[in-house]
Every structure is written in C-alpha cells, then in structure tokens.
Amino acid sequence: MFVSVRFYWIFILSTIPAVLSENVAFIIIDVQNCFLPGGSLAVTNGEEVIPIINTLRSKYENKFRLVVLSQDWHCSNHISFASQHNETSAYNSITLTYDDNGNICDPCQTVAYNVSQMLWPDHCVINSTSAEFDDTLTRKDSDVIIRKGFNCDVDSYSAFFDNGKFSQTGLHKILQDADISTVFVTGLALDYCVYYTSSDAKRLGYTTYLVKDGSRGVANSTSVDALTDMASNGINIIQSDGVGAILESITSAAVSSCSFVLTIPLVIPMLASWIISGI
C-alpha cells in the first residue's frame, strides 16, 4: 500500500511539467546560403533575420517544445529552375500540368492539376554549399530538419506540402505527435516559403504567429500581398519583441488549466487520506 501510494504521487507530480510546458513550436524557414548575400537567390537584407532568430531562440529556448528548421533541397535539374526551360527566363511564371497521380505531364492525356510555377535561378541544390544553413544560425542536435523540394518535378514552398499538395513533408505529423498547437514562423522568404508555410499551418488548425521582423521577402509588392492575405486569414502578424508576452500568456493559461486538472487527483486523495486517518 505504501509503495503504491508513493508511486501514485510520483506519477501525479511527474505529469506537472508536461501539463505546464507550452505546446509551442518555433519554425525557421530556409535560412540557407542560397537565400543570403552571395547566394544565387539572395533575398535583400535576408541576413538581418539571423540575429533576430538567434535572440528568440536564446531567450525562449525552454518555451519552445520543438524548433524546426526547413531546408530547400532541390535536384540539380529541378522543375523550378529557369535553366530547365528553354524559352522562359527567371522570375517569369509558367503553368505546370500534372496527371491525376500527381505526375508531371506535357503533353497530358488528361490534365488533372494545373500548378503555377515561378521560375528561379538555380538554387539550394542537394548537398551543395548553397543549400547549407548559414554558419551563424544557432542550431542544436534536437532541432527538427524538414527538407522540401527534392521531388525534381514539383516545387515545395510550404514546409508542410509540395505546391501541388500531392505529398506531405511529415511536419504536420511531427507537430501532432508533439501535441503542438501554436507555431511561430520566421525566416526566408516572406512572400514564398514563409507565406506558404504559415498559411498551411493556419489551415491545419495551428494558432499561427508570423514574426515579421524575423522574415524578409524577395520583392516588396508580393510581400505586402502576402502579409495582407495572411492577416485576413487569421494569422497573427507580430514583431519579435511581442513574442515574450504571447509566450507568457500561453504559460499562464497552461498554469491555470494545470491547477484545474490536478485538483481532482491531488485534492480528492488528500481529503480521503485525511478522512481515513481520522483528521
């Protein structure tokens, strides 16, 4: 009896950290050499996101249950590279056609999906230096790395799905398995991969915060459009100095639900043991 009561208390107390720790993931999109100064698809001022992301990590590391880094990871003849299309140059858009299995076709017997594709300079080729994360970006062994865009025939702006929504990267399952309900998204580029990832996160049901100063866009007009669209879809656009207060409010909500949840297993046995022992 003594042993089982002791195990009971150990079990109850061991659940406290799990109930108290926030269900929050910090998602860092594509902070890779190819998108930084000197890279083939350098985002203007892209390097400015690095100290902001590193500061958020160092200040709130213990508040993020998961830190996720996505990595654009393309075959050398990727369909999104202008070099693979004779008549069209980079930064022009084309339409790609896919059959009902999600295989690219041209010509197609029947077109099942049309996917608009912006053509890019060659970038982030698998295993190249260009695809590596920036050296100064803080990283840990526990970071979750999500590679995307390695199917040569379809692009993948979002860290959740490819652009045709033919396949998942596995990120949603990883977040679900870790019981994540809130995500903070940062990185490059605001008007493409950050925008698509945040939009999918919100659609998948996560409370989504886009940390605006922790992100930079390829172009101003597409960045403005992306921000407007995200805001209208319920994504919270915030600055990095607002992250602390949001995490605090998530913690206090967790503390009150923890106290409530623990009332039954803690108070009832306590009262019972008082009654039994005649107090």
Residues binding ligand VGL (CB under 6 A): 30, 35, 72, 120, 188-189, 192-193
Question: Which residues lie across from 144 on neighbouring strands?
Answer: 68
Cα diameter, the chain:
90
Smallest gap from Cβ 9 to ligand VGL, in A, equals: 50
The smaller minimum CB distance to Zn ion, of residues 72 and 191, is found at 72
The smaller minimum CB distance to ligand VGL, of residues 152 and 262, is found at 152
Q: Which does 192 bind (CB under 5 to 8 A by kind): Zn ion, ligand VGL, none?
A: ligand VGL
Smallest gap from Cβ 74 to Zn ion, in A, equals: 6
Smallest gap from Cβ 86 to ligand VGL, in A, equals: 20
Positions marked catalytic? 30, 148, 193
Residues that bind Zn ion (CB under 5 A): 72
Q: Which does 28 bind (CB under 5 to 8 A by kind): Zn ion, ligand VGL, none?
A: none
Smallest gap from Cβ 162 to Zn ion, in A, equals: 11
